[in-house]
Amino acid sequence: MPVEQLAVFLENKSGRLAEITKVIADSGVNIRAMSVADTADYGILRLIVDQVATARAALKENGFTVSAADVLAVEVPDRVGGLARILKIIEEAGLNVEYMYAFVNKSGDSAVMIFRFEQMEAAIAALQKAGCHLLSGDEVCGM
C-alpha cells in the first residue's frame, strides 16, 4: 500500500528549509517524516505529511516547486539485523532501491523505513509475501 510523499526542490542556501517548514506549519500540517538530499546548488526535501493536498497547495502558493510520488513505508523490527532482513528480501526479488530513509516509532519496538522503488508493485508483492507489514499513510501519520 503506497504512501504519498511530497518532494520540494529548494535552493541550497541559508533559511530555505526554515521557510518551507514554516509554510507547512502555518497551513496546519504535521510533518511525520522527512529527508534532505543536496547538491552544491539545490536540495530535494522529501516529506510525509498528514495533509498532503493542503501542504502541496500551501507550498505552491508560496512559490515552491512540489511534486508527489508513491513510496512504501515498511515496519522494521528495531533490533540488530532488522533492516538487513528487509534488504535481503528486496535483493532476492531482484529489486533496486532508488532511495530510502527512516524514522523510529515512539514505542521503540519498530522503525519505519520509507522506500522508493522503480517497480512498486513487485516490491509490494515481495514484501507482503515475506510477511512484512506495509503501513498506510494513515498509519504512518498516526504514529
Q: What is the pLDDT of residue 43?
A: 87
Confidence class for position 37, pLDDT limits 50, 70, 90: confident
Confidence check: pLDDT of 34 > 80: yes
Residue 37: all three cell numbers together = 538530499
pLDDT digits (tens, 9 = 90+) for 79-127: 889 899 999 999 999 999 999 998 876 666 788 999 999 999 999 999 9
Q: What is the pLDDT of residue 120?
A: 94
Annotated domain spans of the chain: 3-69, 71-141
What is residue 2's three-state secondary structure? Answer: coil
Fold of 71-141: Alpha-Beta Plaits (3.30.70)
CA distance 6 to 143: 18
pLDDT digits (tens, 9 = 90+) for 43-91: 899 999 999 999 999 999 999 999 999 999 999 988 889 899 999 999 9
Would you call 122 exposed, middle or buried from its count of C-beta atoms within 10 A (0-12, 13-18, 19+)? middle
Q: Which helix (H) or strand (E) holds 110?
A: strand 110-117
Whether the CB-CB separation of 66 and 56 falls below 8 Å is answered with yes
Task: Provide the residue type at 57 as one letter.
Answer: A
State the architecture of 3-69 in CATH terms. 2-Layer Sandwich (3.30)
CA distance 22 to 115: 26
Q: What is the pLDDT of residue 67?
A: 95
